[in-house]
Structure 1
């Protein structure tokens, strides 16, 4: 089956599909996408935008004004500000925003392909700005995530409002999980501890979560914070805490620790008398960058829960790059999901 009736710029745009597939898989596994990925795509987008503009100018008439200038203006003037604002207010991650910025320049108009007797996309978007179609598709795909969570939890007999935003996992899976803890000592919470921030804290202290659970009373005492903490890394699951000069992940109380011997443990002050339980404030003051907006109270609450609970609820924090990739594939093949559902 051959691809015909497609301009050279549109054929080159097909190159983004494997790139975005790789980015989506990497985002699922690590929640980290290098900024270097977007540089060649941005260059390609700029070249194709100029190329399309030249072809439209050569065609003249309404092709230039209605089929290029207008959709390009909508794509750059609408999708780019949306991506920036959502990133500014924390609705998107940096990689999500960069992906949409690249798509806004890469797809200002609707690419068209013919596969045998079939012309793609099947449903021509009402708005000529193809990047807007991709964004709308991605949002609609993203809306299905809470539905999928609810179905998964309902099938397991777990009902309640939290069934739409998370699922329970065993405590020993937390160090390798992404998302946010949905529990505090007071109960379920929508704004719990970021698990990347938890990994940063544990690496900073040179601890494992298992060590914390073995003796939580010891590590609640801020006096057990090492005199020279380890580099916290960025909290990525794949980061090696020992590759940057940090100490091995072992329970290594600081020089003022009172954790040696049962008698010393019995004589420790009540945790409620500590000025800084778990050394949470010390951690946030010591690192030279934000722990994803985590507060000392969120960190303490999360550690209090994880010190005892066998199972905890977490929000999976599905990366938006996955809906973007799915929305891109749908846009290439079917077209506009919103248009298809309304018509």
Structure 2
């Protein structure tokens, strides 16, 4: 008999054709409200959280669930004290989105270094105006976060000739390797004040914890070079947006590329929308054509393992994530 699997969807979200893959091994039960979730939990032990903005777990707890998988690397939608204190396994889609996010970061740096916006504007105006641009060779970046995303970003930026400092919670000589490529040493977060005046690009790729909230504020931005560029693909609250806005408006720093924000969607009247030195991306740095089916396939692989009583892939230790203000330790790296 096929097990019943809860799939959490946004209020008005349709049932995707890709979910037919789940039906091959289980009976999906689609829930959008607390009432639907409470009813579904009576005879379901597994949940796929498709709606990353859901508050259902926070509102009514995990109940008798044994395993929850999110369709993202981040697990903030399910990182509650109740889940962390329970025996519920939490898994994510680690391995699916890291490379696309690294490509987004590289593209954002190329946009700034090669002044692509100027070329687009000149084309729109019909102006032939040659200008020299900056090379990536020798450009220096600091990547905060040594998880899969930060590692992929560092390796890709180095591949095009950039110098990259990886920054984690604590310093260490060996940052490990990805696909056989060594990451090299990791700088401690306490070294960030010394790094900021030396870098061209600051990339935030850390998870949101009590220790990383507001990690970059007015003092850090004031220490950066006037031409420097901030990229945030981690979580919006890593960055003090008011301080960033002031630094950009005063040209204290050169530019920012923001894929995540303190409040999403970004309000329509926010100044970021109209600023020439800001790129606003609607939390899509990880999205690639076909990602939804790939995420379902990853869940189904894990579901088969669960049915066979085997070890699941991509198990997440919730300690250190934001748990309604209760955090055991930082997962900065």
TM-score when normalising by structure 1:
0.28
Higher helix share: 1
TM-score when normalising by structure 2:
0.29
Higher strand share: 2
Larger radius of gyration: 1
More contact order relative to length (CA 8 Å, sep ≥ 6): 1
